[in-house]
Structure 1
Amino acid sequence: MKNLLFLLFPLLLFGCTHNGLMVQTDYIGKRNLASYVVNTPDPELLNPPIGQRLVINWLLPPNTACNDLQLKIFIRFRNKELLEKDLNINCSNGTYTYFVMNEDFLRTDGILSYKVLLIANGECISEFRHQLWADVIVFDQED
């Protein structure tokens, strides 16, 4: 019995890989500059970048056909603007990073929430939503 558990345990570890999408955001500022970390002179430190980035990673099984793959990205900013972006991708794994920097960051107040769809052959095969994402309900206003 112990031998059986010993053999099954590695299978459980390798069987728990995540296929699909993983999305995260983080802030960018002077702490992201190498010169800040090592304390060297840098003109960038006088006017450091400010912003956010949305990092999207996808991983599909190797047998997935790599043609007609698409990322559909919806980003809602804190000023209530909505950005929709479609990206054609040609590989079963990869990373895409969307930056909101400096003037754009100050104008939009940064990323509030997002939704990312991974589409293959016209069908959504994976979806990742931020915890605060909700579809906006639009009411018709009668005059």
Structure 2
Amino acid sequence: MAEVLDEGPFFHGTIADLRVGDFLMAGRRSNYRPEVVMNHIYFTALVNGAGLAAEIAALIEGDTVPRVYLVEPTGAYENDPNVTDKKFPGNPTRSYRSSAPLRIVGEITDWPRLTPEALQMWRERLIALPSDERGEIIN
């Protein structure tokens, strides 16, 4: 039997406009590095982490609405190697990935949004980095 990494609930931040019952699947382009097609779908047990991912995706994509969805994994998942043990031991961001789809079970509308100042800081950080230096993605 596989080890249960986290009981959830789980969240996914995106700019996609989805409905309850829809599925998020691997095989789409990265929100952060559009030249990379993702082999996994990423999610977190922290609503703020999903919110940050949605806000950054909206900054990169432009004129889109950041959204946070409550999701349910449909298959096995693992710690996200892009953050696990990178800066802190373990998985304090409670970030995971799966090659199996995630089912949308609801939309979170009251997640903490970034302030205009924080959004501007992220915008400046992203503009300052050439796309090939936005960080390696372990795919």
Same fold (TM over 0.5): no
Query: Higher strand share goes to which structure?
Result: 1
> Which structure has the higher relative contact order (CA within 8 Å, separation 6+)?
2
TM-score, length of structure 2 as denominator length = 0.23
Q: Which has the larger radius of gyration?
A: 1
